[in-house]
């Protein structure tokens, strides 16, 4: 076969509409088919003036954000440039081939002047989620929670060491009340408050100091609201953490953003409160990973009427020593019994909510198992038990049920996949904006787009909305207009 040289054909006239040129299976058609975004006009109408020159339609501005996130462009400047040449994006925006694409700075100025302090981002997220619920795509019997970090737009080497006050936890007042009840029960003096302490090592003097109610942290100079994140073998950096819950099908139900130095178990309470304010009665089981296993979280889940599904957490005991479960707790006599059948009696309840049980040093001194029990110089073994430990034990018992075996392994298919998809496809790995509010709003839109894309694909598979008769009519009308216009010019 003879070689054919390529001939550039750039001067052809295309007698088609955007409707005809956009493929029927393109993702923008699926997005447009599942939800009508004109609801945004009602959400933001109070943010616009009744006078003045016409503005760019808010639906167009927010659809630019959807294109930016869903198609992984991650730059508003690039998004606007792509929309100039991409006919599918123009079709989704509702702009013709002759309409100008808004300048990339238009979104920034509208955000600063209108949307920054509004609740429109959460309302868009809720509307998309409610639409998915109406379609029957959301299964909230078991919800899956976890946190993921997003690297901040900040240099990890530019920071300063600052002393800050330790924030009061949401459960402290309730825990203090039960601590004092337990202390009075055992004849102890009640505590006035829970002192928050941090142990610090002074490199100059070599002394160990205890700071009360304050702690030292690394504060970024670039983004002051981010937090220093360091976990395991991961790179130490400034980041934000997104605490998120999703359902069995991978639809995000609730999310909040915190600085990266806030532990998952601390940020849990805020997102769990948001989740319960929306869907408390629909949820039965709450599935979390090992980072959330503590008596306070287990108690919170159980008291709200849900079943905690958590994994086994390996004891932190040193090698060669007895594990905590090898000491039997006697609930009736409120004491522990060691592997050598000696009693550890109640001593006190500390300010952190832990009851202390101590052995008799005289009996431990000559115990043949002391080397596996304690290295204490005074030959005394001390055991601790939280005042809410029974809730943790109740959560641990759930591991042996069929409910746990059927649901917990789904974490890797639900919440872990949500984070993986959003990081790889929708820009959740790094952030370009600075400040806690901006990053929370950005994460809200990322999770909203994740839900929208999933809903659009599922909806399209169920009932693709392709009207062939309408397509034919849309082909004919522009042609008739062209013929009419040509006749006018000829005359």
User: pLDDT tens digit string along 71-94?
Assistant: 999 899 999 999 999 999 999 999
Let me know: does 115 contact 44? Beta carbons within 8 Å. Answer: yes
Give me the pLDDT at residue 209, please: 43
Gap between the Cα atoms of 137 and 147, Å rounded: 23
Token pair 């009693």 in the structure block, residue = 343
135-160 pLDDT, tens digit per residue, is 999 999 999 999 999 999 999 999 99
401: three-class secondary structure by DSSP: coil
Q: Per the structure block, which two tokens stand in for 435?
A: 């400040």
Q: Is the pLDDT score of 465 beyond 70? A: no
Give me the pLDDT at residue 195, please: 55
169-180 pLDDT, tens digit per residue, is 788 888 999 999
393-438 pLDDT, tens digit per residue, is 999 999 999 999 999 999 999 999 999 999 999 999 999 999 999 9
Give me the pLDDT at residue 173, please: 87
Gap between the Cα atoms of 29 and 61, Å rounded: 18
Let me know: does 31 contact 6? Beta carbons within 8 Å. Answer: no
Alpha-carbon torsion angle 249, 251, 253, 257, nearest 10: 130
Q: Is the pLDDT score of 333 beyond 60? A: yes
Gap between the Cα atoms of 266 and 297, Å rounded: 9
Give me the pLDDT at residue 487, please: 52
Q: Which of 54-63, 236-245, 309-318, 440-449 has the lowest mean pLDDT?
A: 309-318
When pLDDT is cut at 50, 70 and 90, the band that residue 29 belongs to is very high
Gap between the Cα atoms of 466 and 481, Å rounded: 24
Structure-model confidence comparison of residues 318 and 257, the more confident one: 257
When pLDDT is cut at 50, 70 and 90, the band that residue 464 belongs to is low
Q: Is the pLDDT score of 202 beyond 80? A: no
- Pairing status of strand 307-309 against strand 285-287: parallel
Let me know: does 123 contact 207? Beta carbons within 8 Å. Answer: no
Give me the pLDDT at residue 252, please: 98
Give me the pLDDT at residue 489, please: 46
246: three-class secondary structure by DSSP: strand
């Amino acid at each position: 076969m003879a070689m054919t040289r390529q001939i550039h054909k750039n001067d052809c006239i295309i007698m088609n509409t955007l409707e005809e040129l956009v493929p029927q299976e393109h993702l923008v058609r699926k997005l447009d088919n599942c939800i009508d975004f004109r609801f945004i006009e009602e959400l933001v109408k109070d943010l616009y003036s009744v006078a003045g020159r016409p503005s760019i339609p808010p639906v167009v501005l927010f659809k630019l954000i959807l294109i930016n996130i869903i198609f992984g462009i991650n730059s508003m400047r690039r998004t606007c440039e792509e929309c100039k040449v991409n006919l599918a994006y123009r079709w989704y925006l509702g702009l013709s081939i002759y309409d100008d694409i808004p300048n990339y700075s238009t979104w920034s100025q509208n955000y600063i002047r209108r949307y920054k302090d509004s609740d429109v981002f959460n309302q868009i997220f809720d509307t998309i989620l409610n639409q998915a619920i109406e379609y029957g795509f959301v299964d909230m019997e078991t919800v899956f929670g976890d946190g993921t970090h997003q690297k901040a737009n900040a240099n990890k080497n530019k920071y300063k060491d600052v002393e800050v006050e330790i924030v009061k936890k949401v459960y402290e007042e309730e825990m203090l009340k039960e601590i004092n009840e337990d202390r009075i029960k055992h004849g102890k003096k009640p505590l006035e408050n829970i002192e928050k302490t941090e142990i610090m090592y002074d490199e100059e003097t070599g002394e160990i100091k205890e700071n009360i109610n304050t702690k030292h942290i690394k504060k970024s100079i670039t983004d002051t609201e981010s937090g220093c994140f360091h976990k395991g073998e991961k790179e130490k950096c400034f980041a934000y953490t997104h605490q998120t819950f999703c359902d069995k099908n991978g639809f995000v139900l609730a999310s909040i953003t915190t600085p990266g130095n806030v532990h998952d178990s601390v940020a849990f309470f805020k997102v769990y409160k948001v989740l319960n304010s929306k869907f408390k009665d629909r949820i039965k089981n709450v599935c979390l990973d090992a980072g959330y296993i503590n008596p306070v979280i287990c108690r919170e889940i159980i008291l709200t009427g849900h079943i905690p599904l958590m994994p086994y957490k390996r004891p932190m005991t040193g090698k060669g020593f007895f594990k905590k479960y090898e000491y039997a707790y006697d609930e009736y006599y409120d004491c522990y019994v060691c592997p050598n059948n000696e009693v550890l009696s109640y001593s006190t309840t500390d300010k952190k909510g832990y009851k202390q049980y101590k052995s008799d040093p005289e009996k431990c001194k000559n115990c043949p198992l002391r080397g596996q029990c304690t290295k204490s110089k005074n030959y005394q073994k001390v055991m601790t038990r939280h005042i809410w430990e029974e809730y943790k034990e109740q959560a641990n018992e759930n591991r042996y049920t069929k409910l746990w075996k059927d649901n917990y392994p789904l974490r890797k298919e639900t919440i872990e996949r949500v984070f993986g998809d959003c990081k790889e496809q929708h820009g959740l790995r790094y952030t370009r904006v600075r400040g806690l509010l901006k990053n929370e709003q950005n994460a809200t839109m990322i999770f909203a787009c994740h839900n929208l894309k999933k809903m659009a694909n599922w909806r399209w598979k169920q009932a693709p909305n392709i009207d062939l008769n309408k397509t034919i009519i849309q082909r004919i009308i522009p042609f008739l207009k062209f013929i009419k216009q040509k006749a006018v010019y000829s005359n």
